[in-house]
Amino acid sequence: MTEICREHEEHRDRIAAGRRRVPDREALLEVADFFDALGNPTRLKILYALTGAELCTCDLASIAELSVSAISHQLRILRDRKIISFRKEGKNVFYRLRDQHIVDLLSVALEHMAEGAPHG
Partner DNA sequence: TCATCATTTGAGCAATTATTCAACCATTGA
Partner DNA sequence: TCAATGGTTGAATAATTGCTCAAATGATGA
Q: Name the residues that contact DNA, by CB under 7 A.
A: 1, 5-7, 36, 40-42, 56-59, 61, 66-70, 72-77, 86, 88, 90-94
Among 72, 77, 79, 82, binds a copy of itself (CB under 8 A): 82
> Is residue 77 near a copy of itself by the rule CB under 8 A?
no
Question: 3-class SS at 93?
Answer: strand
Of 14 and 118, nearer to DNA (C-beta) is 14
Among 73, 76, 87, 101, binds a copy of itself (CB under 8 A): 101
Closest CA to 86 of 110, 104, 59: 59
What does R_g of the chain's alpha carbons equal in angstroms?
A: 20
Contact 43, 77 (CB under 8 A): yes
Q: CB of 99: closest distance to a copy of itself in angstroms?
A: 8
> Is residue 44 near a copy of itself by the rule CB under 8 A?
yes
Of 51 and 86, nearer to DNA (C-beta) is 86
Q: What is the rounded distance in angstroms from the CA atom of residue 57 to the CA atom of residue 46? A: 10
HSE-CB for 25 with a 13 A CA cutoff: 0
